[in-house]
Structure 1
Amino acid sequence: MSTWLTQLQCPADGGTLVESDQKLVCSTCGTQYPIENGIPRFVESQHLASFGFQWNRYEVAHADEDRATFEAKTGFRLSEMSGLRVLDAGCGGGRYCKILAEAGAIVYGADHSNAVDKAKKLCEDQPNTHFVQADLKKLPFAPESFDAVFSIGVMHHDAKTQDVFNAAAKMVKPGGRLAVWLYRRNQWWQEWINNRLRHRTVRWSNDRLERWSRFGATLGGIPVLNRTLNKVVNFSNHPSRENRICDTFDWYAPAYQHHHTVAELMDWFRSAGFEDIRVLPPEKTGRFYRWCYQNNLIIGSGVNVQGTRTLSNQPMPCD
């Protein structure tokens, strides 16, 4: 049995897992979990299947940009991550797992969708990366087993964001750090337009939604429109057209997409027993951008908080 697989536990009851004939079997409850492409599968994609489609279809990793985005949205410095055991809760195609592994971290990527296949391929030259397909609310890891946990743009795609947050928070060691980035709640009229549009797009086929995303990517390449119209109807203005298509698809496909406030997220950190809680600033700069950001006018922008797990024995929230 591979050494890293011995670190996993049954997500149903915490039992020991034994490898047998390309599957993991719980020694307590007998539940069997297949191993496919070297990845333990604890769930199927279900309502998050669109993410598997998009991450396996588009090439959106850009090493320098991914390093900068990771540091901005976690507050972690890559130069400080060597030797740390790190969990990417919702790893998608694995771009942050890759840059963390290159920095010397021991990285575990978990995702509910088969995007883990893309992540494994992207990180195939990094032996210190490991992937599981799992529900983030029922992770196959022991509580308090990671030095750092982060989640960028993922938790809000579950039926209840806070349930995912609490489950990820339990994975952090006392003294360890957690960083979370969630979609920001915009002005009421932006929320109304977005909800009306997504009420339709979540029911579209991947082909139809991809055509819509390509149209959005075209708009995102027009300088005047990608700074004005995308405050009304969301589409990406990333410099890369392929990233714009992927980002737009990412916005309109998922069944769940909750938007949150800074105060809300900070309260979750406090309730989960974290201290030294700080709000991370947006990655982009500029006076006008920051004004729009502070007034919740940037669609697709985030609320971004980092905290340290208290060293006390304060209990974590119940499921």
Structure 2
Amino acid sequence: MRRWLLDLLVCPHCVGEQALTLAVDWAMDDEIIDGSLECPHCRAKWPVRDGVPRFVGAAQDYCGNFGFQWQHWKGLQIDRLSGHCLSETRFLADSGWEPEWIRDKLILDCGCGAGRFTDIAAKHGARVVSVDLSAAVNACRDNTMVWDGRVQPIQASLFDLPLRKDAFDGIFCMGVIQHTPDPERLMRTLPAQMKPGGRLAYNFYEADFWPKLQVVKYTLRLITPHLPTDWTLALCRGLVAGLFPLSRALSGIRKVRIINHFLPICSSHDASLSRDQQYAWTLLDTFDWYGPRHEIRQKHTDVAALLQQCGLRNIHSRPGLAVAEKPQSDQG
């Protein structure tokens, strides 16, 4: 844990913003490797283990599949490690943030996974606090060590963030909202973490007609969230092994590639990826379809209305995406 994080940490249980005290068991230079954090008011205590503050226990982790997923495919979607720029392209396009704006900002990544988008924000000069409920934070830590202490993963619930309000210049939550038990509550909670003038980006599954057409996928999803992780992975391996050659062939034929949307695998055939990378991405994304306990879709117009109710401005939305800004304090 980087020492600069301590100024941002507060007790997630106490009313008000109660600062935490730090006990260090093992440190290297500016990083606390092992230790503990304690609230002097309620006496709640949390470990710092392997450089990551841990504010959740196993009973609170409803998304253990993601912990497995992002440690199993730890570097696959990290541009810097895989020789592509897909994550950077998506991050900049979805957030609408200019690289020049990102530099020197304090950014909150909500649901960081293996650090796919954290890595891009850090690349462009931001200091990033990366939060995930699952053990995926370990993969994020490993993937982002190169950024000279500007990235700090935290294992915590997005519904009970141990972080000061009005602290962050930018917040993004990409590919996560639909997998939480209460998306509306989450989307209402996060804007409070932004400074006046801060920017927000939400990416989510759009509530549209596609689920009605993906009959096999949603029939399987009646079962797969309740299976052991290794069973779900075995199912996904079988589906991808059988259907990837077909989906890859169809992807090259313009008039029939839409058929891929009806297959029970999440095909990934970007031309910048090798065949082996396409196969790995397809397996990863297919597991990402079938593993999560929750898949709760949103209409982008409803998300935009919600952000307006939260007092945000400059709101723009399109299917699967909403961005907004928090007004400057003198704008009310």
TM-score (norm. length: structure 1)? 0.86
Determine which of 131, 144, 167 is the counterpart of 1:123.
144
- In the other structure, the counterpart of 2:254 is none
Inter-partner Cα distance in structure 2 for 1:128 and 1:209 = 36
In structure 2, what is the equivalent of residue 23 of structure 1?
A: 36
Q: Which letter maps to 2:51? A: G
- Partner of 1:170: helix, strand, or coil? helix
Structure 1 residue 271 displacement after superposition: 1.0
Q: Is the 8 A contact 2:312 2:326 kept in 1?
A: yes
Matched with 2:48 is 35
Q: Does structure 2 retain, via aligned residues, the 8 Å contact 1:42–1:133?
A: yes
| Structure 1 moving runs of 4+ over 6 Å | none
Letter in 1 for 2:86: E
Looking at structure 2, the residues matched to 233 and 145 of structure 1 have their Cα atoms a distance apart, in angstroms, of 44
- Between the aligned partners of 1:166 and 1:191, the Cα distance in structure 2 is 30
Counterpart residue type for residue 265 of structure 2: F
Residues 265 and 194 (structure 1 numbering): CA distance in 2 closer, same or farther, change over 3 Å?
farther
Cα shift readout 1:174-230 (whole Å, capped 9, x = no counterpart): 111100001011316237654432111111222221122223434245335563444
Task: Map 1:218-257 onto structure 2 (within 5 A).
Answer: 218=241, 219-221=243-245, 222-225=247-250, 227-239=257-269, 240=277, 241-257=279-295
Residue from 99, 107, 111 that aligns with 1:86: 107
Q: 1:220 to 1:163 in 2, by over 3 A?
A: farther
Amino acid at match of 1:53: F
2:296 maps to which residue?
A: 258
CA contact (8 A) 2:109 2:129 kept: yes
| AA at the equivalent of 1:232 | F
Of the three residues 220, 224, 232, the one matched with 1:209 is 232
Number of residue pairs aligned between Structure 1 and Structure 2: 294
Name the TM-score, length of structure 2 as normaliser.
Answer: 0.83
Maintained 8 Å contact 1:86/1:107: yes
How do 1:298-309 residues align onto structure 2 when only pairs under 5 Å count? 303-309=320-326
Distance 1:197 1:313 in 2: 52
CA drift of 1:313 comes to 7.6
Q: Is the 8 A contact 1:9 1:142 kept in 2?
A: yes
Structure 1 range deviating more: 196-205 or 33-42: 196-205
CA RMSD for the aligned pairs? 2.1
Correspondence list, 1:252-291, <5 A: 252-280=290-318
**Correspondence 1:2 to 2:3:** yes
8 Å Cα contact 1:155-1:164 kept in structure 2? yes
Per-residue CA distance 1:13-71 (angstroms, 9 max, x = gap): 13211112411001111000111111000013521110000000013222411110111
193 and 106 in structure 1: CA distance in 2 versus 1, 3 angstrom threshold? same
**Greater relative CO, 1 or 2 (CA 8 Å, sep 6+):** 1
Larger Rg: 2
Question: Does structure 1 retain, via aligned residues, the 8 Å contact 2:203–2:320?
Answer: yes
